[in-house]
Structure 1
Amino acid sequence: MKKKIVIAGGTGFIGQYLERKFVDLGYKVKIISRQPQHISWSNQAMIIAALDQAEMVINLAGKSVNCRYTDKNKEEIFQSRTETTKILGIALLACKNPPPLWINSSTATIYRHAEDRPMTEASGEIGSGFSVDVAKVWEQSLFDFKLPQTRQVALRIAIVLGADGGAMEPYINLVRFGLGGFQGSGKQMFSWIHIEDLYQIILFLQDNKNLSGVFNCSAPQPITNREFMETLRNTMNRKFGLPSPKWILEFGAVFMRTETELILKSRWVLPERLEKEGFHFTFDSIGKALQQLVGNPNRI
């Protein structure tokens, strides 16, 4: 019988990357999503059947936060994360042979705006505001379930950098059009992770069967926004980029139907638990990551 994993909310940038990688490893990958070709979130029987005897379930479901924080969007952002997590938890309780590992996405935005010191799992301070509230409820909806046969892991994922889409695309476009200077003060910390390292972390957690709880998924060398934009310009051979003051970002965010928090919040996050457990990052510096993603045609 072919080995199997389940990716919930697997239609986005990260989910598609993981699906390709696990298919290459010889897995049968079952996707739960709102798209008609996949298992529907409303079909509990099919969800249970998919989860039964799977090696793990990875839940990435949730409405994108790249939108205006209207009341309607806020409600959808909350519901799309908590309801899908609850559906999976209930289905896992109904499985005869549940997967031994449940990985649920969370976000590094759970920590406060930090320009003074880095945040680790042990010493990080939880922030306040809408995005933080979402992250707290999201994690709680995972850990509320008591599953004796299944390890539960929440990944506090930093900004994911990959070659085809995701967070890289808007930054590349800014540089391309001469707008690749720093944003806001440029002093805000930029915590990031290469998508390949995110995939390797999932394999690492699968192999290390004693690990559960919360993990920061962020490269060990966070940088300032100014350093990130400068490294990206250099990698793309663009010497000049106009900076974007806060007032321009506020103005532009309205037209782009997004929020400036995505750019201006200082996320200073370190992967302390992963490194203590022996995980080694392939892309530990922004220079290495951007060279592979932007400067090297032989992409992963």
Structure 2
Amino acid sequence: MDSKTIVTWKNELENADILINLAGKSVDCRYNEKNKKEIYNSRINSTKALQKAINEFQNPPKIWLNASSATIYVHSETHLNTEKNGIIGDDFSMNICKSWEKEFFNTENQNIRKIALRTSIVLGKNGGAFPKFKQISQLGLGGRQGRGNQMMSWIHIDDFCEAVNFIIENENLKGAINITAPKPLSNKKMMKQLREKIKMPFGIPSPVWLLEIAAIFIKTETELMLKSRNVYPEILIENGFQFRYDDFEKSLEKL
């Protein structure tokens, strides 16, 4: 299926109980004009196509969970962003998230509960950020990145799946929800705990100028490493969700 044609989507989703849309080009790339356009279109077009398909359903899903990102909040080293008091800013990444959620919530369908998953860094063994953090630490490069003060909001992949299931089962939950562990920590502390876990006695720090050069060669953006995502899952906590991995050390034990 693609993000523009609704015929196959209709065939799959008519009479379905739940729709979970995680479509979107990875932001782990250089932010040139081509990639920016693909990042935007892959999110907006897929959401728009699904909405168009749902409008034609006789029996649409009762729950629609759409991906979003904790990157919607501004860089913050001290302010803890909840769904109620989170500060949303204005740059490429934040505007992508704002446009994504605007498209998602733009249409209100009766009897369809919509949730935007404002997800932080998901940590798992197979792909994503954790294997990369582990690899650079094993090479002795697992020191702080930049000043190391940037806050790292994260969630273990098992808790991510459980949080999605929790939201599905709790019919009072809707709107934008932070999907992140309750204890963000600084980049400096995160890298230190990781080094200790893999028994690496040192980690060479990476100053910003070095990260800028490295980002060009590995075709990514330093924002992914340097932006401070200081996010708290207030709605999940208030509604009784229990994290299995509520701090980074517990998560490391599993990972």
Specify the alignment match of 2:242 in structure 1. 280
Residue 46 of structure 1 deviates from its aligned partner by 2.0
Instruction: Mark the runs of 5 or more structure 1 residues left unpaired by the alignment.
Output: 1-38, 294-300
Specify the alignment match of 1:92 in structure 2. 54
* Residues 1:72 and 2:11 are matched in the alignment: no
- Three-state SS of the structure 2 residue aligned to 1:127 is coil
Q: 8 Å contact 1:67–1:73 — kept in the other structure?
A: yes
Task: Give the distance between the partners of 2:158 and 2:17, measured in 1 at CA.
Answer: 20
Tell me which amino acid in the other structure corresponds to 2:141. L
The size of the alignment, in residue pairs, is 255
Specify the alignment match of 1:196 in structure 2. 158
Task: Give the distance between the partners of 2:12 and 2:172, measured in 1 at CA.
Answer: 25
Most deviating of 43-52 and 67-76: 43-52
Picking from 148, 162, 180, the partner of 1:186 is 148
Picking from 153, 171, 174, the partner of 2:115 is 153
Aligned pairs (5 A) from 1:33-182 = 39-182=1-144
CA distances 1:134-193 after superposition (whole Å, capped 9, x unpaired): 000000110012111210000100011001111112111111111011100011100000
Tell me which amino acid in the other structure corresponds to 1:147. N
Specify the alignment match of 1:13 in structure 2. none
Task: Give the distance between the partners of 1:287 and 1:177, measured in 2 at CA.
Answer: 21
Q: 8 Å contact 1:98–1:149 — kept in the other structure?
A: no
Tell me which amino acid in the other structure corresponds to 2:128. G
* Residues 1:256 and 2:213 are matched in the alignment: no
Tell me which amino acid in the other structure corresponds to 1:116. T
Picking from 152, 156, 173, the partner of 1:211 is 173
- Three-state SS of the structure 1 residue aligned to 2:192 is helix
Specify the alignment match of 1:16 in structure 2. none
CA RMSD in angstroms comes to 0.9
Q: 8 Å contact 1:181–1:229 — kept in the other structure?
A: yes
- Three-state SS of the structure 2 residue aligned to 1:181 is coil
**Higher RCO (CA < 8 A, seq sep 6+):** 2
Residue 209 of structure 1 deviates from its aligned partner by 1.1
Tell me which amino acid in the other structure corresponds to 2:85. S
Q: 8 Å contact 2:4–2:45 — kept in the other structure?
A: no
Residue 122 of structure 1 deviates from its aligned partner by 0.2
Q: 8 Å contact 1:67–1:258 — kept in the other structure?
A: yes
Tell me which amino acid in the other structure corresponds to 1:67. C
The two structures have a TM-score, normalised by structure 2, of: 0.98
Task: Give the distance between the partners of 2:86 and 2:60, measured in 1 at CA.
Answer: 32
CA distances 1:250-275 after superposition (whole Å, capped 9, x unpaired): 11111111110000001100000110
After superposing on structure 2, the runs of 4+ consecutive aligned residues of structure 1 that deviate more than 6 Å are none
CA distances 1:47-86 after superposition (whole Å, capped 9, x unpaired): 1121111111111111111111111111111111000000
Residue 42 of structure 1 deviates from its aligned partner by 4.5
Specify the alignment match of 2:183 in structure 1. 221
Instruction: Mark the runs of 5 or more structure 2 residues left unpaired by the alignment.
Output: none
